[in-house]
């Protein structure tokens, strides 16, 4: 039987990379900043989005894609704030892929300024998948511990923004925000770091201002 | 933990390549996997063994070429192989680094039996 070597040299995630590039081009053409939110389950992604929705009501136009393994719960929480939201249930998959996001894009209203994509709660796999976002935000909550950045380096190394959440719990836990920040900055010296609390409202104005600046950069590019 | 979806995507390519080259069987598949690719080679091997059953690659061996994480500093041009993921130059401290290797997740080549 003749044997043949076939040289391929193809990225195994090529189809995801192509879908992500198409999403980025479409959204930026429409003047929409796409934000990929990543964290462990329960770090406060949905609560943070609820607070952002309250603070930007009547001003900034936001929309949210929610990724979870099961249930519509998170999308319902966002819709209750008057913000358009779509739930993607992955049925077991541990991360969102660009094609899943692409299917939602036709529903995103034209006036949208920021599209948040809340990834499946997981600090590992989502980091390997480009969803076509311009801004990747990783959240680390106080109860998780300040030693997490180096344990899950890819998530912190590929993000541009870090949000330390649940600041209202700092006094009650052995969590040192300065240590968490220093560890993350060692991995990724360009990270911009914010500290927030969805309970007291600490840091939310600064984070919203940061998001507005990032959105303006998109307009400058288009 | 998403190694099975990576392998599923690999098989889409394998089947297309087998058809294009009129292969009867695929006997070897070689991948390049970088230390920063986010996948674990051992889990890729397990997923490959499960996935190949009943396909044209049923008898194929999976060969994985592991690529270390290597960065080049744009300031001092030093090239370093890193065992951690710290994105600062160990020689001059600059954070303006270029990743040379380590993010690869590439199907390099296939060996096939042809007509």
For residue B27, the chain A residues in CB contact (below 8 A) are 3
* pLDDT at residue A61, rounded to an integer: 97
As a whole number, mean pLDDT of residues A39-53 equals 98
Domain total in chain A: 1
Subunit contact B6:A13, Cβ cutoff 8 A: yes
* pLDDT classification of A202: cutoffs 50, 70, 90: very high
pLDDT digits (tens, 9 = 90+) for A5-19: 999 998 888 888 999
Domain assignment of residue A202, yes or no: yes
What's the per-residue H, E or C state across chain A? CCEEEEEEEEECCHHHHHHHHHHHHHHHHCCCEEEEEECCCCCCHHHHHHHHHHHHCCCCCEEEEEEECCCCHHHHHHHCCCCCEEEEECCCCCCCCHHHHHHHHHHCCCCCCEEEEECCCCCCHHHHCCCCCCEEEEEEEHHHCCCHHHHCHHHHHHCCEEEEECHHHHHHCCCCHHHHHHHHHHHCCCCEEEECCCCCCCCHHHHHHHHHHHHHHHHHHC
Residues of B in contact with A129 (CB under 8 A): 2
In a domain? residue A6: no
Residues of B within an 8 Å Cβ radius of A: 1-2, 5-6, 9-10, 12-13, 17, 21, 23-24, 27, 31, 36-39, 84-88, 95, 105-115
- Three-point CA angle A17, A113, A128, nearest 5°: 25
A186 alpha-carbon distance from chain centroid: 21
What CATH number did the domain enclosing A87 receive? 3.40.50.300
Report if residue A62 sits inside a domain.
Answer: yes
- Look up residue B101 and give its two tokens: 């290797």
Nearest CA-CA partner of A12 in B113, B2, B20: B2
DSSP state of B107: E
- Residue A79 belongs to domain spanning: 15-221
Q: Which of A6, A12, A187 sits opposite B10 (nearest CB)?
A: A12
Of B13, B88, B114, nearest to A8 by CB-CB distance is: B13
Classified as helix, coil or strand, B108 is strand
Residue among B106, B108, B113, B115 with most chain A CBs within 10 A, to mutate? B106
Q: What is the pLDDT of residues A157-186, one digit of tens each?
A: 999 999 999 999 999 999 999 999 999 999
CB contact under 8 A, A2 and B114: yes
Task: Tell me how far apart the alpha carbons of residues A67 and A94 are, in angstroms, rounded to a whole number.
Answer: 10
Question: Is residue A3 in some structural domain?
Answer: no
Among the listed residues A51, A55, A18, A49, the one whose alpha carbon sits nearest the alpha carbon of residue A36: A49
Please state, for a pLDDT cut of 90, what percent of chain A lies above it.
84
In a domain, A7, yes or no: no
Lowest mean pLDDT of A6-15, A56-65, A206-215, name the range: A6-15
Share of chain A above pLDDT 70, in %: 99
- Whole-angstrom Cα distance, residue A182 to residue B61? 44
Considering only alpha carbons, which residue of chain B is nearest residue A129? B38
Task: Give me the tens of pLDDT residue by residue for chain B, a chain 115 residues long.
Answer: 688 889 998 999 999 999 999 999 999 999 999 988 888 999 999 999 999 999 999 999 999 999 998 989 988 998 988 877 777 888 888 888 888 888 889 999 999 998 7
Nearest CA in chain B to A155: B38
Task: Tell me whether residue A84 is in a domain.
Answer: yes
Using a CB-CB cut-off of 8 Å, the residues of chain A touching B114 are: 1-4
Q: Is residue A4 one of the residues assigned to a domain?
A: no
**Mean pLDDT score of chain A, rounded to an integer?**
95
The verdict on a CB contact (< 8 Å) between B108 and A8 is yes
Residue of chain B minimizing CA distance to A153: B85
B106: chain A residues, CB-CB within 8 Å: 9-12
Domain assignment of residue A213, yes or no: yes
- What is residue A2's predicted lDDT score, i.e. its pLDDT? 85
Map out the domains of chain B with their CATH numbers: 3-68+101-114 (3.30.2320.50)
Residue with tokens 């920063």: B36
For B9-48, give the DSSP string. Answer: HHHHHHHHHHHHTTEEEEEEEEEEEETTSS--HHHHHHHH
The values of phi and psi at residue B29, to 5°, are -130, 125
Name the residue facing B85 among A5, A13, A187 (closest C-beta): A187
In this prediction the ipTM stands at: 0.81
**Chain B residues within 8 A of A128 when measuring between CB atoms:** 2, 37-39
- Residue position matching structure tokens 């297309």: B16
Q: Say what the pLDDT of residue A19 is.
A: 95
């Amino acid at each position: 039987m003749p044997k043949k070597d076939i040289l391929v040299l193809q990225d195994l995630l090529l189809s995801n990379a192509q879908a992500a590039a198409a999403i980025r081009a479409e959204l930026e053409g429409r003047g929409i900043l796409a934000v990929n939110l990543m964290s462990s389950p329960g770090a406060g992604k949905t609560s943070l989005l609820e607070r952002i929705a309250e603070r930007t009501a009547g001003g900034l136009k936001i929309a949210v894609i929610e990724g979870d393994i099961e249930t519509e719960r998170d999308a319902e929480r966002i819709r209750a704030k008057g913000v358009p939201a779509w739930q993607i249930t992955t049925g077991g998959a541990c991360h969102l892929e660009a094609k899943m996001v692409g299917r939602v894009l036709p529903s995103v209203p034209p006036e949208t300024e920021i599209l948040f994509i809340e990834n499946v709660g997981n600090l590992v796999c989502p980091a390997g998948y480009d969803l076509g976002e311009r801004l990747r935000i990783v959240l680390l909550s106080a109860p998780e511990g300040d030693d997490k950045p180096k344990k899950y380096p890819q998530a912190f190394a590929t993000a541009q923004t870090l949000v330390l959440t649940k600041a209202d719990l700092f006094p009650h836990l052995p969590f040192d925000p300065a240590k968490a920040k220093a560890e993350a900055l060692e991995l990724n010296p360009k990270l911009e770091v914010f500290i927030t609390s969805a309970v007291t409202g600490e840091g939310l104005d600064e984070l919203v201002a940061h998001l507005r600046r990032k959105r303006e950069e998109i307009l400058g590019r288009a | 933990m998403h190694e099975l979806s990576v392998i599923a995507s690999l098989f889409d390519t394998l089947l297309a390549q087998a058809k294009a080259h009129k292969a009867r069987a695929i006997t070897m598949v070689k991948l390049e996997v970088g230390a920063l690719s986010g996948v674990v080679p051992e889990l890729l091997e397990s997923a490959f063994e499960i996935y190949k059953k009943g396909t044209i690659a049923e008898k194929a061996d999976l060969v994985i070429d592991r690529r270390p994480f290597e960065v080049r500093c744009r300031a001092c041009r030093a090239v370093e192989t890193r065992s951690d993921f710290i994105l600062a130059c160990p020689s001059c401290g600059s954070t303006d680094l270029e990743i040379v290797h380590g993010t690869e997740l590439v199907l390099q080549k296939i060996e096939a039996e042809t007509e």
